[in-house]
Structure 1
Amino acid sequence: MLKKILNVSLIILPVMLFSSNDVSLEQKIGQMLMVGFHGTSAKPNSQICKDIKKYHIGSVILFDYNPVNKNKPKNIANKKQLKKLTSELQSCSYDGKLLIAVDQEGGKVQRLKSKYGFYGKFPKASDVIKMDQSQIRSTYIKMSKELKSVGINYDLAPVVDLDINKKNHVIHGLGRSFGKDPKTVAKYASTFIDAMHHYGVLTSLKHFPGHGSSVGDTHKGFVDVTHLWNKVELEPYRLLNKKADTVMVAHVFNKKLDAKYPATLSKKTVNGLLRKKLGFDGVVITDDLQMGAISKKYGLKKTLNLAINAGDDILLFGNQLDPKRVVSSKKLVNSIKSLVKNGDISLKQIDKAYDRIQKLKRRL
């Protein structure tokens, strides 16, 4: 009889462990956070490890460049060190499915550089399109394999912005776009996603609802695309809405879509346009909420309130852009908790985000 009872309990236990009813509010909130941190290791007594354990932080973002001391790496020093760091980070997580992200597009935007012992010569998108399809596939499979080899499971790419403004420094100037035709862009982005999936790396289409027409840089401040933006910029998201793992929303302001808020903080743009109109039901991640376009205009609580109510699931705080404005996981969790307590954010909204994130993690 005892043997039978033990067998039954073994069957029931895993179900109980993964029931969202058993997860505390602060742990659900923790799953919604992607944070950057300083350190090339994550020992059990490190702040990042303690935060991941305590709050069930869902994702981290890694950088090579250290804004505090440019002579020292922030998180990425070499292959061996990075593999150890990601392993230590996973050991801190409750489910072994911590999302460990980098920006690895190719060209100027690749965190795994040759000076750290990585390949580091992946071409930018505007050069990729000059290659044939099999070359492109093998290029991106090589990139995916390298990410996987050091424990990175989430690439904040591909860029699906259309190359429609030659004065655009951020996309056109850096050759980050696959071109101006949405079908062509979707085709190359699809090859990129397939290659990443080959080694179990998740991806993110960016920057919704389109950064290709802009002139300004949202890293530095407010960028209004109202008179430059074109509806055709939505097309790659429509074409890839069933394939995309996640979509990253940009901080661009477009009066035609929302007369009050930039895309990241806009319910009309995220919930209305991306989810309802274009049919995307996966995870939505914000661009870095410490970028000038947001931080210069909104306080932390207002930013969190608007972002979650807009329908964003993962809130990105890279702790990268301004060493004086590092925000702790504790402060983020407590700020969101108090917004829920005050009725500014509904528990239902947190649960929806939590469920979408769990569904995403099951793909790993």
Structure 2
Amino acid sequence: MNDARVRRRLLLTGAGAAAAAVLTGCDRAAPAPARRADALASPAASPSVSGATAGPDAALRRKIASLLVVGFRGETVTDNDWIVRAIRNGLGGVILFDRDLQTNAVRNISSPTQAAALVKSLRQASPGRLIVSIDQEGGQTSRLNPANGFPASQSEAEIGAANNPGTTRTWAEGIAKDLTTIGANLNYAPVVDLDVNPDNPAIGKLGRSFSGDPDVVVGNATIELQAHRNAKVKTVIKHFPGLGSATGNTDFDVVDVSGSWQERELEPFQRLIAAGVVDSVMAAHILNTRLDPDHPASLSRAVVTDLLRGKLGWKGPVVSDDMQAAAITRKVPADQAVTLALQAGVDLLVFANQQVYDESVVDSTIDTIVGQIRSGSLTETQLDQAVARVDALRPTS
């Protein structure tokens, strides 16, 4: 894979496919008192959220809600909590964090028993198959860690340095076991970015890449993906089309990789997709004018639809990085970003509620999308396609 001509053919033809976000924590409210799960599961126990279950747009609003994953504060929930009302009204999923970004206080996870009880309550509140997602990469990016009663895990960089299939399998099975312990069913992992820039504050310096060698990345990622499948936990490979050369972190800055990105950064994505081991792909918030002169990758039809779906042949769900990350909010208004992401071909929109904490984010996002459908900027056919793809990420039971 070192031949530049081969790398260019991978990018321009997609023949290889035929042949073969650090999301962070933020402030939380004081934990609400525990309550009986049977009362929590009763749809009649809480009011609707901003007309989400009533009116002429009720079905449309529930459809849109199913495409959203949202973060919230609290180690327990009650039927009066806004996140529970949103789940009852069709919210697609939640994302859990160990600590808050703004206060460094515990957010959702303080122990295995507590986290499992929280997830059980959330899933009982859902009329469908709720996505319960988390960043559990290993190493520093581990929401389940010794501070909240889980085993320590090695980073991808440590696993890649060893590059031993048995070691990787044991490590990956341990991560998957921790997820099933609490009932999480979607992991934003593995990172398959190449470690192009070891000084990268978002990847290299945090040990989040297996290696700068595509063969090492693909080999170890394949084992990890298979371990998650065996545990019935879905995965999200990230950050397409490659964040490894960056000099900034998209959570906190607008990051431009136009001058540093290399075409070989596509290889892990392309080879894993071709091998049939991928559940979903995360679109990064990076600017790469070599691929799109105007939009970040996550808001770019040229990147998501033309390159990822077209040339690399990916037919499954595409997941956004945190839509409230500075790389987006400093460049594009929130309503425009949501519209561009869906137009680009992103299916599942993630709002970590970390950079800001917005209890109305579900309703405001739904309002935006309803308005765009009414104006013709988006179509219900697009939504239906996204819903069908996201359905593949939902737990089977």
Alignment TM-score, normalising by the size of structure 2? 0.82
Instruction: State which of 361, 376, 390 in structure 2 corresponds to 1:357.
Output: 390
Q: CA deviation at 1:351?
A: 0.8
Q: Which runs of structure 2 are paired with 1:1-364 in the superposition (5 Å)? A: 24-54=59-89, 56-70=90-104, 72-95=105-128, 97-119=129-151, 121-129=152-160, 130=162, 132-241=164-273, 242-323=276-357, 327-361=360-394
Q: CA deviation at 1:357?
A: 1.1
SS in 2 for 1:240: helix
Residues 282, 360 of structure 1: 8 Å contact kept: no
Q: CA deviation at 1:175?
A: 1.2
What stretches of structure 1 of length at least 5 have no aligned partner? 1-22
- Report the Cα distance in structure 1 between the residues aligned to 2:98 and 2:233, rounded to whole angstroms: 19
Aligned to 2:16: none
Instruction: Tell me the number of residue pairs that the alignment of Structure 1 and Structure 2 aligns.
Output: 338
Q: Deviations over 1:290-340 (max 9, x none)?
A: 1111001111110111000000000011001234x5652111111111111
- Report the Cα distance in structure 2 between the residues aligned to 1:359 and 1:338, rounded to whole angstroms: 27
- Report the Cα distance in structure 2 between the residues aligned to 1:87 and 1:353, rounded to whole angstroms: 26
- Report the Cα distance in structure 1 between the residues aligned to 2:343 and 2:71, rounded to whole angstroms: 23
Q: CA deviation at 1:221?
A: 1.7
Alignment TM-score, normalising by the size of structure 1? 0.89
SS in 2 for 1:101: strand
- Report the Cα distance in structure 2 between the residues aligned to 1:326 and 1:362, rounded to whole angstroms: 25
Instruction: Give, as a single letter, the amino acid of the residue that structure 1 aligns with 2:293.
Output: A
Q: CA RMSD in A?
A: 1.6
SS in 1 for 2:319: strand
Q: 1:362 to 1:155 in 2, by over 3 A?
A: closer
Q: CA deviation at 1:44?
A: 2.2
Aligned to 2:9: none
Q: Tell me the percent identity.
A: 36
What stretches of structure 2 of length at least 5 have no aligned partner? 1-57
- Report the Cα distance in structure 2 between the residues aligned to 1:177 and 1:296, rounded to whole angstroms: 27
- Report the Cα distance in structure 2 between the residues aligned to 1:278 and 1:217, rounded to whole angstroms: 26
- Report the Cα distance in structure 1 between the residues aligned to 2:155 and 2:199, rounded to whole angstroms: 18
Instruction: Give, as a single letter, the amino acid of the residue that structure 1 aligns with 2:392.
Output: K
Residues 185, 395 of structure 2: 8 Å contact kept: no
Q: CA deviation at 1:67?
A: 3.5
- Report the Cα distance in structure 1 between the residues aligned to 2:244 and 2:100, rounded to whole angstroms: 28
Higher relative contact order (CA 8 A, sep 6+): 2
